[in-house]
Amino acid sequence: MLGWEPRRGAFPERLFALRERLGPPLVAHSRWFAPDTPYRERHEFVDGEGMAFPSGPGVFEALDNAREWGIETDEQDRYSL
């Protein structure tokens, strides 16, 4: 995953419209970030094999705008190196 923001054109009516149509809150899930994620510019990461993991909560706090898209919960896998 390079960036968290929705891709342009993937949801023409915006992700919030999909949530409204489905009814229940949306839950996002991400296993890891790509090693070349742009979030490295502002947050520290730990590298795995072909993947990167935030080493603190800062990156998730920065992604707080996901609520504006209709996402109410984000589940991040934990990985031990």
Per-residue pLDDT, 20? 81
The span from the CA of 32 to the CA of 52, in Å, is: 6
Does a structural domain hold residue 4? Answer: no
Checking if the pLDDT of 14 tops 60, the result is yes
Confidence of residue 22 (pLDDT cuts 50, 70, 90): confident
pLDDT for 40-69, tens place per residue?
999 999 998 998 988 888 888 877 777 777
Closest C-alpha to 32, from 58, 6, 55: 55
**Residue 19 lies inside a defined structural domain of this protein:** yes
User: What total number of domains does the chain contain?
Assistant: 1
> In terms of pTM, does the model score above 0.95?
no
In terms of Cβ atoms closer than 10 Å to its own Cβ (0-12, 13-18, 19+), residue 43 is middle
Report if residue 3 sits inside a domain: no
Question: Would residue 1 count as lying in a domain?
Answer: no
Q: Which residue has the tokens 């090693």?
A: 35
Q: Which domain holds residue 32?
A: 14-76
Residue 30: strand pairing partners:
76
Q: Residue 79 pLDDT more than 70?
A: no
Taking the mean position of all CA atoms in its chain, how far away is CA 60? Answer: 8
Does residue 8 fall inside a structural domain?
no
Whose tokens are 């490295």? That residue is 40
Residue 43: its pLDDT value, please? 92
Residue 50 lies in a domain: yes
